[in-house]
Amino acid sequence: MPRILHAQHDRFPLIRPFRIARGTKTAADVVTVTIGEGDLVGRGEGVPYPRYGETIEGALAAIEEVRPLIESGAGRPALIEALPPGAARNALDCALWDLEARLDGCDVAWMTGGAPLRTLASAMTVVIDTPDAMARDAAALIGAPVLKIKVDAEDPAARIRAVRSAAPRADLIVDPNESWDRALVEAMQAVLVEARVSLLEQPVPAGEDSWLEGFSSAIPICADESVHVAADLPVVARRYQAVNVKLDKTGGLTEALELAQQARACGLGLMTGCMVSSSLSIAPALHVAMLSDFVDLDGPIWLRDDRPGGVKTEGGFIHPPAASFWGTAQT
Protein backbone atom coordinates (compact mmCIF):
# COMPACT_ATOMS: atom_id res chain seq x y z
CA MET A 1 0.00 0.00 0.00
CA PRO A 2 1.53 3.37 -1.00
CA ARG A 3 2.50 5.90 1.63
CA ILE A 4 1.84 9.62 1.51
CA LEU A 5 4.26 12.01 3.23
CA HIS A 6 3.30 15.56 4.14
CA ALA A 7 5.43 18.17 5.92
CA GLN A 8 4.58 21.72 6.93
CA HIS A 9 5.68 24.63 9.10
CA ASP A 10 3.47 25.27 12.13
CA ARG A 11 3.81 28.22 14.50
CA PHE A 12 2.62 28.27 18.10
CA PRO A 13 2.66 31.73 19.78
CA LEU A 14 3.91 31.73 23.38
CA ILE A 15 2.04 33.04 26.40
CA ARG A 16 5.08 35.20 27.27
CA PRO A 17 8.68 35.56 26.08
CA PHE A 18 11.05 32.66 26.74
CA ARG A 19 14.42 34.25 27.58
CA ILE A 20 17.69 32.35 27.79
CA ALA A 21 21.33 33.40 27.43
CA ARG A 22 21.18 32.83 23.67
CA GLY A 23 18.12 35.00 22.98
CA THR A 24 14.36 35.34 23.34
CA LYS A 25 11.57 33.36 21.70
CA THR A 26 7.99 34.58 21.28
CA ALA A 27 6.73 31.59 19.28
CA ALA A 28 7.56 27.93 18.74
CA ASP A 29 8.28 27.28 15.06
CA VAL A 30 8.08 23.58 14.29
CA VAL A 31 7.99 21.20 11.34
CA THR A 32 5.07 18.79 11.43
CA VAL A 33 5.29 15.54 9.46
CA THR A 34 2.52 13.07 8.69
CA ILE A 35 3.04 9.73 6.99
CA GLY A 36 -0.15 8.03 5.84
CA GLU A 37 -0.58 4.40 4.88
CA GLY A 38 -4.10 3.34 4.09
CA ASP A 39 -6.42 4.70 6.76
CA LEU A 40 -3.64 5.13 9.33
CA VAL A 41 -1.44 8.16 9.87
CA GLY A 42 1.74 8.59 11.90
CA ARG A 43 2.78 12.04 13.11
CA GLY A 44 6.04 13.60 14.20
CA GLU A 45 7.39 17.04 15.04
CA GLY A 46 10.83 18.62 14.83
CA VAL A 47 12.08 21.98 16.06
CA PRO A 48 14.88 23.36 13.85
CA TYR A 49 17.39 25.07 16.11
CA PRO A 50 19.52 28.00 14.88
CA ARG A 51 22.29 27.06 17.34
CA TYR A 52 22.92 24.04 15.12
CA GLY A 53 22.52 25.92 11.85
CA GLU A 54 18.97 24.68 11.30
CA THR A 55 16.04 26.56 9.78
CA ILE A 56 12.44 25.70 8.98
CA GLU A 57 13.22 25.98 5.26
CA GLY A 58 16.27 23.75 5.55
CA ALA A 59 14.37 21.10 7.49
CA LEU A 60 11.53 21.05 4.96
CA ALA A 61 14.05 20.76 2.13
CA ALA A 62 15.79 17.83 3.86
CA ILE A 63 12.45 16.07 4.31
CA GLU A 64 11.64 16.63 0.64
CA GLU A 65 14.94 14.99 -0.35
CA VAL A 66 13.97 11.73 1.32
CA ARG A 67 10.34 11.76 0.21
CA PRO A 68 10.89 8.98 -2.40
CA LEU A 69 12.62 6.83 0.22
CA ILE A 70 9.86 7.24 2.81
CA GLU A 71 6.98 6.91 0.38
CA SER A 72 8.50 3.73 -1.04
CA GLY A 73 8.14 2.13 2.39
CA ALA A 74 11.58 2.61 3.97
CA GLY A 75 11.81 2.24 7.74
CA ARG A 76 13.75 3.92 10.51
CA PRO A 77 17.14 2.23 9.82
CA ALA A 78 17.12 3.50 6.24
CA LEU A 79 16.13 6.97 7.45
CA ILE A 80 19.10 7.09 9.83
CA GLU A 81 21.41 6.28 6.93
CA ALA A 82 19.79 8.89 4.69
CA LEU A 83 19.71 11.95 6.98
CA PRO A 84 22.02 13.32 9.67
CA PRO A 85 20.79 13.90 13.24
CA GLY A 86 18.59 16.95 13.60
CA ALA A 87 15.05 18.25 13.56
CA ALA A 88 14.14 16.97 10.08
CA ARG A 89 15.11 13.40 10.90
CA ASN A 90 13.42 13.67 14.30
CA ALA A 91 10.07 14.58 12.75
CA LEU A 92 10.30 11.70 10.27
CA ASP A 93 11.60 9.14 12.76
CA CYS A 94 8.82 9.89 15.25
CA ALA A 95 6.17 9.78 12.52
CA LEU A 96 7.48 6.34 11.52
CA TRP A 97 7.33 5.11 15.14
CA ASP A 98 3.75 6.35 15.38
CA LEU A 99 2.73 4.78 12.09
CA GLU A 100 4.42 1.47 12.93
CA ALA A 101 2.60 1.26 16.25
CA ARG A 102 -0.74 1.85 14.58
CA LEU A 103 -0.07 -0.60 11.76
CA ASP A 104 1.10 -3.32 14.17
CA GLY A 105 -1.71 -2.76 16.65
CA CYS A 106 0.59 -2.10 19.60
CA ASP A 107 2.15 0.87 21.35
CA VAL A 108 5.64 2.32 21.45
CA ALA A 109 6.23 1.29 25.07
CA TRP A 110 5.74 -2.33 24.04
CA MET A 111 7.90 -1.84 20.94
CA THR A 112 10.80 -0.51 23.03
CA GLY A 113 10.38 -3.01 25.84
CA GLY A 114 9.76 -0.15 28.23
CA ALA A 115 7.16 0.33 30.94
CA PRO A 116 3.83 1.99 30.13
CA LEU A 117 3.96 5.77 30.38
CA ARG A 118 3.11 7.29 33.74
CA THR A 119 2.99 10.72 35.34
CA LEU A 120 6.49 12.11 35.90
CA ALA A 121 7.97 15.10 37.70
CA SER A 122 9.18 17.61 35.11
CA ALA A 123 11.35 20.66 35.63
CA MET A 124 9.52 23.96 35.32
CA THR A 125 11.64 26.68 33.71
CA VAL A 126 12.34 30.06 35.30
CA VAL A 127 13.63 32.22 32.44
CA ILE A 128 16.16 35.03 32.67
CA ASP A 129 14.87 38.22 34.26
CA THR A 130 15.75 40.39 37.22
CA PRO A 131 16.36 38.46 40.45
CA ASP A 132 13.10 39.82 41.90
CA ALA A 133 11.09 38.80 38.85
CA MET A 134 12.68 35.35 38.82
CA ALA A 135 11.84 34.96 42.51
CA ARG A 136 8.22 35.84 41.76
CA ASP A 137 8.11 33.31 38.93
CA ALA A 138 9.58 30.65 41.22
CA ALA A 139 7.10 31.49 43.97
CA ALA A 140 4.27 31.04 41.47
CA LEU A 141 5.57 27.51 40.90
CA ILE A 142 5.56 26.68 44.60
CA GLY A 143 5.14 22.95 45.09
CA ALA A 144 6.82 22.05 41.80
CA PRO A 145 9.43 19.42 42.66
CA VAL A 146 12.05 20.59 40.13
CA LEU A 147 12.90 24.04 38.77
CA LYS A 148 15.31 24.86 35.95
CA ILE A 149 16.91 28.29 36.31
CA LYS A 150 18.04 29.96 33.10
CA VAL A 151 21.01 32.29 33.65
CA ASP A 152 23.73 34.05 31.70
CA ALA A 153 27.06 35.52 32.80
CA GLU A 154 25.47 38.64 34.33
CA ASP A 155 25.34 38.10 38.11
CA PRO A 156 24.05 34.52 38.02
CA ALA A 157 24.60 34.23 41.78
CA ALA A 158 21.90 36.79 42.54
CA ARG A 159 19.42 35.05 40.27
CA ILE A 160 20.14 31.59 41.68
CA ARG A 161 19.88 32.81 45.27
CA ALA A 162 16.63 34.62 44.52
CA VAL A 163 15.03 31.48 43.10
CA ARG A 164 16.31 29.31 45.94
CA SER A 165 14.87 31.75 48.50
CA ALA A 166 11.47 31.63 46.76
CA ALA A 167 11.53 27.84 46.31
CA PRO A 168 13.30 26.39 49.35
CA ARG A 169 12.35 22.75 48.75
CA ALA A 170 12.59 22.30 44.97
CA ASP A 171 15.45 20.50 43.27
CA LEU A 172 17.31 23.07 41.16
CA ILE A 173 18.95 22.73 37.75
CA VAL A 174 21.03 25.72 36.62
CA ASP A 175 21.33 26.19 32.85
CA PRO A 176 23.66 28.92 31.52
CA ASN A 177 23.21 27.75 27.91
CA GLU A 178 26.97 27.90 27.19
CA SER A 179 27.31 31.51 28.44
CA TRP A 180 29.92 30.96 31.17
CA ASP A 181 33.66 30.50 30.95
CA ARG A 182 36.04 28.47 33.08
CA ALA A 183 36.68 31.31 35.53
CA LEU A 184 32.97 31.78 36.18
CA VAL A 185 32.34 28.04 36.59
CA GLU A 186 35.10 27.93 39.19
CA ALA A 187 33.88 31.09 40.93
CA MET A 188 30.30 29.79 41.09
CA GLN A 189 31.11 26.49 42.81
CA ALA A 190 30.46 27.80 46.32
CA VAL A 191 27.20 29.47 45.26
CA LEU A 192 25.96 26.28 43.62
CA VAL A 193 26.64 24.34 46.81
CA GLU A 194 25.08 27.05 48.98
CA ALA A 195 21.92 27.03 46.84
CA ARG A 196 21.80 23.21 46.88
CA VAL A 197 21.80 22.99 43.11
CA SER A 198 21.39 19.42 41.88
CA LEU A 199 22.78 19.81 38.37
CA LEU A 200 24.69 22.39 36.31
CA GLU A 201 23.81 22.10 32.64
CA GLN A 202 26.27 22.96 29.84
CA PRO A 203 27.89 25.98 31.47
CA VAL A 204 30.54 26.57 28.77
CA PRO A 205 30.39 26.40 24.97
CA ALA A 206 30.61 23.03 23.29
CA GLY A 207 34.06 22.87 21.78
CA GLU A 208 35.52 24.88 24.65
CA ASP A 209 34.95 22.28 27.34
CA SER A 210 38.10 20.15 27.14
CA TRP A 211 39.29 21.59 30.48
CA LEU A 212 36.35 19.83 32.17
CA GLU A 213 38.33 16.63 31.76
CA GLY A 214 39.79 16.17 35.21
CA PHE A 215 37.92 19.14 36.71
CA SER A 216 36.40 18.28 40.08
CA SER A 217 33.05 20.06 40.24
CA ALA A 218 31.19 20.41 43.50
CA ILE A 219 27.99 19.31 41.73
CA PRO A 220 27.41 17.14 38.64
CA ILE A 221 27.72 18.86 35.26
CA CYS A 222 25.37 17.78 32.47
CA ALA A 223 26.25 17.94 28.77
CA ASP A 224 23.63 19.43 26.46
CA GLU A 225 25.08 21.10 23.37
CA SER A 226 28.20 18.93 23.72
CA VAL A 227 26.29 15.68 23.17
CA HIS A 228 24.01 14.82 20.28
CA VAL A 229 24.33 11.08 19.59
CA ALA A 230 25.83 7.97 21.16
CA ALA A 231 29.03 8.37 19.12
CA ASP A 232 29.81 11.50 21.17
CA LEU A 233 29.99 9.59 24.45
CA PRO A 234 33.65 8.51 24.51
CA VAL A 235 34.69 12.17 24.79
CA VAL A 236 31.66 13.43 26.72
CA ALA A 237 31.97 10.78 29.42
CA ARG A 238 35.45 12.10 30.31
CA ARG A 239 34.14 15.64 30.84
CA TYR A 240 30.59 15.38 32.18
CA GLN A 241 28.66 13.40 34.76
CA ALA A 242 25.31 13.42 32.94
CA VAL A 243 23.85 13.99 29.47
CA ASN A 244 20.72 15.75 28.28
CA VAL A 245 18.97 13.63 25.63
CA LYS A 246 16.87 15.70 23.23
CA LEU A 247 15.19 14.11 20.25
CA ASP A 248 15.86 17.13 18.05
CA LYS A 249 19.60 16.62 18.67
CA THR A 250 19.62 12.84 18.24
CA GLY A 251 17.40 12.95 15.17
CA GLY A 252 14.53 10.99 16.65
CA LEU A 253 13.47 8.48 19.25
CA THR A 254 15.49 5.66 17.67
CA GLU A 255 18.87 7.29 18.32
CA ALA A 256 17.66 8.90 21.56
CA LEU A 257 17.07 5.46 23.08
CA GLU A 258 20.49 4.32 21.90
CA LEU A 259 22.13 7.39 23.44
CA ALA A 260 20.29 6.87 26.73
CA GLN A 261 21.22 3.21 26.95
CA GLN A 262 24.88 3.77 26.11
CA ALA A 263 25.10 6.73 28.50
CA ARG A 264 23.89 4.48 31.30
CA ALA A 265 26.48 1.90 30.32
CA CYS A 266 29.11 4.64 30.71
CA GLY A 267 27.85 5.38 34.21
CA LEU A 268 26.39 8.76 33.28
CA GLY A 269 23.25 10.34 34.68
CA LEU A 270 20.36 11.07 32.32
CA MET A 271 18.15 14.05 31.66
CA THR A 272 15.46 14.15 28.99
CA GLY A 273 15.00 17.64 27.57
CA CYS A 274 13.12 19.41 24.82
CA MET A 275 12.93 22.57 22.78
CA VAL A 276 9.98 24.93 23.16
CA SER A 277 7.51 22.79 21.27
CA SER A 278 4.06 21.26 21.16
CA SER A 279 3.01 18.00 22.79
CA LEU A 280 3.80 16.19 19.55
CA SER A 281 7.49 16.62 20.41
CA ILE A 282 6.95 15.64 24.03
CA ALA A 283 4.97 12.41 23.54
CA PRO A 284 7.88 10.39 22.08
CA ALA A 285 10.36 12.00 24.49
CA LEU A 286 8.36 10.56 27.40
CA HIS A 287 9.68 7.11 26.48
CA VAL A 288 13.22 8.36 27.16
CA ALA A 289 12.07 10.29 30.22
CA MET A 290 10.94 7.02 31.78
CA LEU A 291 14.62 6.03 31.88
CA SER A 292 15.93 9.36 33.20
CA ASP A 293 17.00 10.89 36.49
CA PHE A 294 15.77 14.36 35.50
CA VAL A 295 12.94 15.28 33.15
CA ASP A 296 12.69 18.70 31.51
CA LEU A 297 9.69 18.54 29.19
CA ASP A 298 7.76 21.70 29.98
CA GLY A 299 7.92 23.10 26.43
CA PRO A 300 4.15 22.98 25.76
CA ILE A 301 3.21 25.00 28.86
CA TRP A 302 4.72 28.05 27.16
CA LEU A 303 2.25 27.81 24.26
CA ARG A 304 -0.97 29.78 24.11
CA ASP A 305 -2.59 26.74 22.52
CA ASP A 306 -1.16 23.23 22.34
CA ARG A 307 -2.28 20.45 20.01
CA PRO A 308 -5.56 18.87 21.18
CA GLY A 309 -5.15 15.80 23.35
CA GLY A 310 -1.54 16.54 24.28
CA VAL A 311 0.29 16.22 27.57
CA LYS A 312 -0.97 17.99 30.68
CA THR A 313 1.33 19.61 33.21
CA GLU A 314 0.04 20.33 36.70
CA GLY A 315 2.03 21.35 39.75
CA GLY A 316 5.31 20.35 38.15
CA PHE A 317 4.12 16.92 37.02
CA ILE A 318 3.60 15.92 33.40
CA HIS A 319 0.77 13.55 32.50
CA PRO A 320 0.89 11.42 29.32
CA PRO A 321 -1.24 12.54 26.37
CA ALA A 322 -4.67 11.24 25.57
CA ALA A 323 -5.00 7.74 24.17
CA SER A 324 -4.33 7.71 20.41
CA PHE A 325 -2.46 11.06 20.48
CA TRP A 326 0.85 9.43 19.52
CA GLY A 327 2.41 5.99 19.46
CA THR A 328 -0.59 3.83 20.26
CA ALA A 329 -2.75 1.41 18.31
CA GLN A 330 -5.95 3.18 19.32
CA THR A 331 -7.60 5.39 16.71
Active site residues: 150, 246
Rounded Cα gap, residues 121 and 144, in angstroms? 8
Rounded Cα gap, residues 99 and 70, in angstroms? 12
Q: Is 323 helix (H, G, I), strand (E, B) or coil?
A: coil
- The alpha carbon of 43 is separated from its chain's Cα centroid by a whole number of angstroms, namely 18
| Closest to 143 measured CA to CA, from 323, 290, 316 | 316
Residue 157 burial class via C-beta count within 10 angstroms: exposed 0-12, middle 13-18, buried 19 and up:
middle
CA distances from 64 to 5, 20, 43, 47, 89 (A): 9, 32, 16, 16, 11
